[in-house]
């Protein structure tokens, strides 16, 4: 098969990213998260699209919510636990969840199965966003195109 030419994208041609900007002691909780930044590969500027795989035992993020950015996920393969203010819910292929900007509904996804899970995550790129982490001593705010993390009182993590 020949290589696709943009705007077409083969996710296998998009590098997998496993890095996180989370500081310790939180970084390890997302160590099994693998993202292919499809939106970046397509040159999108207003929203991002990631093809994300979570290894067994890993989670998408710390439970959080965004001040100005919307988020949406769509499950492609496997079974994942959505943890939100509504409690714990199992999502299967074809199911989705959306998180409106400014709604203080802390959420994350956890793979509690023995198999990898794949889903699409879509979010906008509204500037000056901030993230709240209700269960952890962490706060996030956008600085340019990157999220910067501190303790809730604004002091840096050591």
Query: Once rounded to an integer, what is the mean pLDDT over residues 70-83?
Result: 98
Query: Once rounded to an integer, what is the mean pLDDT over residues 32-44?
Result: 96
Asked if the model's pLDDT at residue 1 lies above 80, the reply is no
Query: Once rounded to an integer, what is the mean pLDDT over residues 136-151?
Result: 91
Asked if the model's pLDDT at residue 124 lies above 80, the reply is yes
Parse the chain into domains and list their residue ranges.
31-150
Domain 31-150 indexed as CATH 2.60.120.10: yes
Length of the chain: 158
**Distance from C-alpha of 10 to C-alpha of 69, rounded to nearest angstrom:** 27
Strands (E), 38-153: 47-54, 65-66, 71-77, 80-84, 87-91, 96-99, 108-110, 117-124, 130-132, 139-143, 146-150
Alpha helices of 20-154 — where are they, by DSSP H? 38-41
Asked if the model's pLDDT at residue 98 lies above 90, the reply is yes
Full-model pTM: 0.92
- Tokens matching residue 19: 């890095």
Residue 38, helix vs strand vs coil:
helix
């Amino acid at each position: 098969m020949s290589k696709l030419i943009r705007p077409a994208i083969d996710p296998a041609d998009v590098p997998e990213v496993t890095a996180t900007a989370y500081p310790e002691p939180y970084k390890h909780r997302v160590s099994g998260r693998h993202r292919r930044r499809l939106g970046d590969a397509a040159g999108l500027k207003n929203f991002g699209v990631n093809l994300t795989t979570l290894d067994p035992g890993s989670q998408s993020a710390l439970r959080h919510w965004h001040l100005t950015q919307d988020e949406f996920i769509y499950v492609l393969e496997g079974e994942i636990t959505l943890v939100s203010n509504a409690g714990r819910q199992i999502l299967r292929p074809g199911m989705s969840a959306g998180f409106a900007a400014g709604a203080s509904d802390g959420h994350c996804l956890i793979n509690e199965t023995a198999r990898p899970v794949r889903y699409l995550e879509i979010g906008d790129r509204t500037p000056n966003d901030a993230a709240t982490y209700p269960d952890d001593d962490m706060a996030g705010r956008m600085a340019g195109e990157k999220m910067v993390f501190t303790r809730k009182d604004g002091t840096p993590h050591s």
